[in-house]
A and B are shown apart, each in its own frame.
Chain A
């Protein structure tokens, strides 16, 4: 019962994040919505694992959290520096 309520709450918050990703006026709304959707995906996988009697989904959810974090870092780095390649010689790169 607890897991069902948690899953419903997560699905509802996924809807809200989706609304923000679709209508979000600025770039940062959408980045945040995509990142939050990734977090909700991690939680949903974890809860669905307990709901289906497969608690080992928890490890998969943890690995997803790592992928999501790296993806967000990559997107933010792209918006900071407008490129994906290695830093050029003599370019000031800040403290990323």
Chain B
């Protein structure tokens, strides 16, 4: 593996991800862990881009690095400081994590290697999509034709679920605003003029 082989970027990103994961588990400061989780999501999104899974990478970047960091911070402001209770069981948690990780690795052992043309996903309907989708649907982009035409009802259902979830979140977050509940005290006072 030379420097001109872009594979070393994958190795660097995976090494970063391992370091960040260990640091997140070891740090005592919750805020630092939340920030590092955002960095972890950015790293995995980069890995997805390099693996050519751009749509997954976009989801990871917007949900993992964007929304979930903010939601974690919101939860942080609502719960009391974790330093309040001292007794923890790190050994039990470590055992559960190692067992779950071992199960996940066991699950990946049966998977075909990356880019294998004989992988089951490439043998089923992909050929038909590639050869016939233009005549069948008149959509030049194959991915769009699969998403919006072959799996149109599936996409409609997904959109309905997301729309319902968005309405529910708006009702939950905006509820206290409608009722006119007093806002919590601001952390710092404004120094200049507003």
Residue of A nearest to B61 (CB): A67
Bound-state Cα–Cα, A38 to B36, Å: 11
Main secondary structure of the interface of A (DSSP, over half): helix
A42-96, CB < 8 A from B: 44-45, 48, 51-52, 57, 60, 63-64, 67-68, 70-71, 74-75, 78-89, 91-95
Q: Is the CB of B27 within 8 A of A41?
A: no
Q: A71-B38, A87-B177, A88-B180 are in contact. Are A38 and B65 (CB under 8 A)?
A: yes
Main secondary structure of the interface of B (DSSP, over half): helix
Residue of B nearest to A30 (CB): B35
Min Cβ gap B37→A in Å is 10
Count B-side interface residues using an 8 Å CB cutoff.
48
- Of the listed residues B23, B66, B77, B184, the one surrounded by the most CB atoms of chain A closer than 10 A to its CB is B66
Q: Which of B67-75, B82-90, B93-101, B118-126 contacts A (4 or more CB under 8 A)?
A: B67-75
Pairs across A and B, CB under 8 Å, 15 listed: A18-B16, A22-B23, A22-B36, A33-B39, A41-B45, A41-B46, A44-B9, A48-B46, A68-B65, A71-B66, A71-B70, A84-B70, A84-B173, A88-B182, A89-B180
